[in-house]
Amino acid sequence: MSLNQLTVHELHEKLKEREITAVELTESIYARIDEVEPSVKGYLTLTKTLALEQASNADVGFQNGNEMPPLAGIPIAIKDVICTKDVRTTCASKILSNFKPPYDATVMAKLQKQNAVMIGKTNMDEFAMGSSTENSAYQITHNPWDLETIPGGSSGGSAAVVAADSAICSLGSDTGGSIRQPAALCGVVGMKPTYGRISRYGLIAFASSLDQIGPFTKDVTDCALVLNAICGKDPLDSTSVDVPVPDFTESLINDVQGLRIGVPKEYFAEGLDAEVAELVHSAIQKLEQLGASLEEISLPHTDFAIATYYIIAPAEASANLARYDGVRYGYRTEEPVDLIDMYKKTRTEGFGQEVKRRIMLGTFALSAGYQDAYYRKAQKVRTLIKSDFDAAFEKVDVIATPTSPTPAFKIGERTADPLQMYLCDVMTTPASHAGLPGISVPCGYVKSGLPVGLQLLTPPFDEETLLRTAYTYQQNTDHHLKRPIIAKTEGKI
Q: Where along the sequence are the contacts to ligand GLN (CB under 6 A)?
A: 128-131, 154, 174-178, 206, 313, 425
Residue number with CB closer to ligand GLN (174 or 463): 174
Does residue 154 have an active-site annotation?
Answer: yes
Which residue among the candidates 39, 132, 136, 154 is catalytic per the annotation?
Answer: 154
Residue number with CB closer to ligand GLN (115 or 175): 175
Residue number with CB closer to ligand GLN (217 or 432): 432
CB-closest chain residue to ligand GLN: 178
In angstroms, give the least distance from the CB of 191 to ligand GLN.
13
Does residue 251 have an active-site annotation?
Answer: no
Residue number with CB closer to ligand GLN (175 or 318): 175
Which residue among the candidates 178, 199, 240, 432 is catalytic per the annotation?
Answer: 178
Residue number with CB closer to ligand GLN (176 or 437): 176
Does residue 85 have an active-site annotation?
Answer: no
For residue 132, the tally of other CB atoms under 10 A from its CB is: 30
Which residue among the candidates 39, 41, 79, 136 is catalytic per the annotation?
Answer: 79
In angstroms, give the least distance from the CB of 114 to ligand GLN.
26
Residue number with CB closer to ligand GLN (154 or 158): 154
In angstroms, give the least distance from the CB of 450 to ligand GLN.
19
In angstroms, give the least distance from the CB of 175 to ligand GLN.
3
In angstroms, give the least distance from the CB of 311 to ligand GLN.
12
In angstroms, give the least distance from the CB of 273 to ligand GLN.
18
Active site residues: 79, 154, 178
